[in-house]
Structure 1
Amino acid sequence: MTTTVNLAAENEPDEQLSSTIAHVEAAFETARRSQRLWAQSSLRERARIILAFGRLVLDREAELLDLIQHETGKSRRDAFEELTDVVLWSGHVANHGPALLRSRGKRGAIPLLTTTTEVRVPKGVVGIITPWNYPFTLPATDSLPALIAGNAVVLKPDRLTPRIADRLLELLLEAGLPKGVLQIVHGPGAEIGGAVIERADFVMFTGSTATGRVVARQCAERLIGFSAELGGKNPLLVLEDADVDRAAPGAVRASFANAGQLCISTERLYVHAAHWDEFCAKFVEHTEALRLGPGYDWGIDMGRLISERQLATVESHVADAVDKGARVLAGGRRRPDLGELFYEPTVLVDVGPGMIAHREETFGPVVSLYRVESDDEAIALANDSEYGLNASVWSRRNGESVARRLRAGTVNINEGYAATWSSYASPMGGMKQSGLGRRHGTAGILKYTDAQTISRQRLIPIAGPDGFGHERWAGVMSAGARILRRIP
């Protein structure tokens, strides 16, 4: 059944859901008590719960899509992208996590005499702070690997999208997660987020680079680890050998998914001169064909922005660019006839230095097109940014070689962002000012653990047997070292 709510309305924080510092303190106390028992559970049991959670998400598909759309105003297609991502990632964590986390025997100092085991120990209580743009995907993406590793979690979702996180917790409890292992606190980032960081044993943060620096300082002061996905000004390159008929619609999806409110979406397009006229015409054509509006039906391509603040940022970036000489090829207008927070997908050209949109992240449905004379020029301009989160390359033959020259944590060939994000066995994260650490892959699970090495010495101590003599033992060890150094 479709919920009857207004997708065109502006989000307002629900003050009834606001936590206090006392609530945060209580959440961590409960989480610490629960974590001790949770860490003693088997990896098989944790995996079973996470698999059951994924099945519940599929069973409640319509309800969850309605809720995601209600809180974010995104299109149903974009909401469905979140839901399928959570289902597939939960399956990956449950199916591959136990093998990664299992204790492993390692070569000891002296073969046969030293046995060594590497053990993965949970961090304890992980603090997770997530934004509003993907309020189902990001809490699940970060919480599930922390949970399978034996940690408890205290999650602080964004104030604009609190109920999706609450529903995530309800489904995990229904799947069998012991009560208390995952705690949720709500409220402003500076106060409640800061309180989470002050108490956590490890922090996972997603947000702006500016806020990421604040989080980094807080974690450094406490000498705790943290991982962060931060801002991006992601480039898309249409190379000389690109297929324009594929590149134009693909670039539109890369630029305007979730109304551009996506950390890994495209904001800069570098188009080879050989394709400039054709690509611009087709890109504008596909952009103007996007269906913009509110609604729960599948016919809408792009929904609204999250808040008046975000809309104001988009408008200011476009106005600044136009005032300084940029031209609008498509869009460029607020659409109050559709609702309070709708803005047309916008294509700019002649954007240059001194314009806000040239280097700063807009995080909205605005993209700038740049003509380049060679693939090398496109690569140089793509790398000319403080950010390095995601990139996209469109090419028939040269995509792989160009991708390796780009300074970005993920590079998609003939796709905008989904290919790398959905490759769950491989790490995802940013270079330069776009973040630290990685989601997904082995690193995205093991980061929630500490490596502990346990060694047992048998028969003869490493320092040598009693009465053997230092010089004599040194000779034995020297001969042994000559042999051991050749053994892989």
Structure 2
Amino acid sequence: MDATTDGATATLPSRITPELIARLTDYVATGNGTVDLVEVYTGAVYGTLPQSGTDQVAAAVATARTAQKKWAATPLSERLAVFQRFHDLILENHEIISDLIQIGTGKTRRMAFEESCDTPMVISHYLKTAKRVLAPIKRAGGIPFVNASIEMHKPKGVVAVISPWNFPFAISLSDSAPAFIAGNGVVLKPDNKTALCVLFAVDLLIKAGLPRDLVQVVCGTGPDIGPTLIDNVDYVMFTGSSATGRIIGSQAGANVISCSLELGGKNPMLILDDADLDVTVPGAVFAVYGNSGQACMHIERIYVHESKYDEFLRRFTEAAEELGKKAGAAYDFEPEFGSLVSVDHMERVSAHIEDAKAKGATVVTGGYPRPDLGPAFYQPTVLTGVTPDMVHAKAETFGPVVSIYKFRDVEEAIRLANDTDYGLNASVWGKNIARATEIGARLEAGNVNINDGFITSYSSKATPSGGVKQSGIGTRHGDAGLLKYTDTVHIGVQKIQVMAARAKQPYAQQLKSTLMTLKFMRRFGIR
């Protein structure tokens, strides 16, 4: 259980009433007690969240499965109409969505609002493309004109979407929306700390016309209910740590079901000798400290060409210190730097920094909590002299801390950037875009951003996004992000019976004619 602050009083926005909380938590499949809901800014308990038992998880999947059969038979145009309405409802309710995101995560208002915009962007993309992507495709058969091949895409059935606490609204809904559009039922398992914003989204989905039983919500810890959930569904979409991803992937494999896993990262940034520091420094500050460093694709390692190193370090440090002065706990747009999600997580981040300090790293700035702002705030931190024996050098810290290194030539920079088990995101900065892009293509990452930290690639909803190496399998976004929720079915149609053995014809003669036919078709490009 994450720590709370004894005697603290919640400061919830007036829109978040006890009646609203009660209505939203009623969507949870209950049966295993409750946990406290904590306002991150104050550490105060403001309500309780029901927990689901294993029986309730199995029942939730069964309910979604029954509803899914009718939903799959619903014309795609009608399914899309639901999401057009859902898109509009998100935009109309952006203030309360931002409230709920902030309460559970402690992020700034800007980050909360931008998170709420991700789902409409994903929905808008699939509103335009789903009919094309899901339509049957007629292809040539083994022998053109004689037989035909039809590629069809049918929904998997029931999809489990297991989402993290750092972007709870965006990831839960941006991952489940294409699953619904493809004709599936969905069981959502949000993190306990940030479940309320997900539950509000469920409320909006139902208002938009999604069948009530088609979407189910279960809450609980991963070890308690995760195995039961995976044992009962047809597909798993998980975003979280690599350690948990391995467990989920192993169980999904044992059940012979597919999964998509977006896992951890130790994302590098390369600053080349021709980088314009006037744009690079602000971009790097956001790439490192956006969402207080709690983003899978945020930058944790910066490699700077020796000709730029001293100036970059000075300017970046000054910017980090200035950002720390703009930190605050407020449900408005004034603070530019927010809290970490919990005291427990703040202590984990702090432990990485203390380990680095004890082993000889230099804390250039930061390196301490900010209890003057709230129980889980931590000052933006810059480290130098980080060596491979330090925890922060290799492990994902997932907080407002970055290590900065110097390099002499591009080959050294590429080698250092790729020296990690992870491969989620990377960033390259330089005025010569062609050169920077060529260098970026050599980095071992599923997403590479040129003259940007991570927003450029992640906001491109038409292109698949995912990790390599230990950063996961599968992708979200693009055609692949919709098709992964379907089974590909191949229907072969034989128009004339020419492929079976022909009566009274010696096989040697059949062999000869077959070889001649294959050569003929290849020569004239028939197949």
Length-normalised TM-score, structure 2 = 0.90
User: How far apart are 1:308 and its partner, in Å?
Assistant: 1.5
CA distance in 1, matches of 2:57, 2:15: 33
CA distance in 2, matches of 1:307, 1:61: 24
Gap regions ≥5 residues in structure 2: 1-11, 17-38
1:151 is matched with 184
Instruction: Say if 1:11 and 1:307, in contact at 8 Å, map to a contact too.
Output: no
Equivalent residue number for residue 477 of structure 1: 514
Give the match's secondary structure for 1:136. Answer: helix
Letter in 2 for 1:382: A
Post-superposition CA distance 1:323-380 (Å, at most 9, x none): 1111112211111111111101111111112111111110110111111112221111
Distance in 1 (CA, whole Å) between partners of 2:125 and 2:257 is 27
Post-superposition shift, 1:63? 1.2
Give 1:40-189 correspondences, 5 Å limit.
Answer: 40-189=73-222
Asked whether 1:311 is paired with 2:350, we answer no
Contact 1:9 1:340 in 2 (8 A): yes
Choose which of 451, 456, 462 in structure 2 pairs with 1:419: 456
Contact 1:10 1:306 in 2 (8 A): no
What SS class does the counterpart of residue 212 from structure 2 fall into?
A: coil
Q: Secondary structure at the match of 2:278?
A: helix
* Counterpart Cα distance in 1 of 2:348 and 2:402: 14
| Aligned equivalents of 1:95, 1:10: Cα separation in 2 | 43
Structure 2 counterpart of 1:10, from 39, 43, 56: 43
Hey, what's the Cα distance between the residues in 2 that align with 1:477 and 1:51? 53
Q: Give yes or no for contact 2:40–2:342 (8 Å, CA) kept in 1.
A: no
Q: In 1, Cα distance between the equivalents of 2:403 and 2:458?
A: 23
Alpha-carbon offset, residue 301 of structure 1: 1.1
The letter of the residue matching 2:262 is E
Q: Quick check: 1:23 aligned with 2:56?
A: yes
- Of 452, 455, 469, the match for 2:489: 452
CA distance in structure 1 between the partners assigned to 2:286 and 2:441 by the alignment: 23
Any residues of structure 2 matched to 1:349-360 within 5 Å, and which?
A: 349-360=384-395
- 5 Å-filtered alignment, 1:268-417, equals 268-290=301-323, 291-397=326-432, 398-417=435-454
Task: Spell out the pairing of 1:201-240 with structure 2 (5 A cutoff).
Answer: 201-240=234-273
Q: How large is the Cα RMSD of the aligned pairs?
A: 1.7
Residues 12, 262 of structure 1: CA spacing in aligned structure 2 closer, same or farther, 3 A cutoff? farther
Tell me the secondary structure at the aligned position of residue 106 of structure 1.
Answer: strand
Alpha-carbon separation, structure 2, partners of 1:268 and 1:210: 21
Distance 1:3 1:418 in 2: 32
Contact 1:334 1:342 in 2 (8 A): yes
Q: Does the 8 A contact of 1:390 with 1:410 survive in 2?
A: yes
AA aligned opposite 2:445: A
Q: 1:434 aligns with which of 445, 457, 471?
A: 471
- TM-superposition CA deviations, 1:80-125 (whole Å, max 9, x none): 1211111111111221122111111011112222121001011111
Distance in 1 between residues matched to 2:46 and 2:249, nearest whole Å: 26
Gaps of 5+ in 1: none
Q: Given that residues 49 and 192 in structure 2 are in contact (C-alpha distance below 8 angstroms), is that contact kept between their aligned partners in structure 1? A: no
Code of the residue aligned with 2:315 in structure 1: it is K
Whether the aligned pair in 2 keeps the contact of 1:390 and 1:430 (CA below 8 Å) is yes
Post-superposition shift, 1:467? 4.4
Question: Contact 2:147–2:496 at 8 Å: present in 1 too?
Answer: no
Q: Is the 8 A contact 2:352 2:397 kept in 1?
A: yes
Tell me the amino acid that sits aligned with residue 311 of structure 1: M
Change (3 A) 1:36 1:214: same
Give the secondary-structure state (helix, strand or coil) at the position aligned to 1:388.
Answer: coil
| Residue 195 (structure 1) aligned with residue 228 (structure 2) | yes
Map of 2:3 onto structure 1: none
Offset at residue 477 of structure 1 (A): 2.6
Alignment of 1:242 onto 2:275: yes
SS at match of 1:428: coil
Helix, strand or coil at the partner of 1:57: helix
CA offsets, 1:156-207, max 9 Å, x none? 0111111111111111111111121111111111111221111111111111
Cα pair 1:11 1:160 within 8 Å, conserved: no
Q: Would the alpha carbon gap of residues 236 and 83 (structure 1) be closer, same or farther in structure 2, given more than 3 Å must change?
A: same
Q: Aligned residues, how many?
A: 488
* CA distance in structure 2 between the partners assigned to 1:312 and 1:265 by the alignment: 19
Q: Distance in 2 between matches of 1:11 and 1:467?
A: 87
Distance 1:13 1:154 in 2: 26
Does the residue aligned with 2:213 lie in a helix, a strand or coil? coil
Q: 1:27 to 1:14 in 2, by over 3 A?
A: farther
Describe the SS at the equivalent of 2:275: coil
Pairing of 1:28-39 with structure 2 (within 5 A) = 28-39=61-72
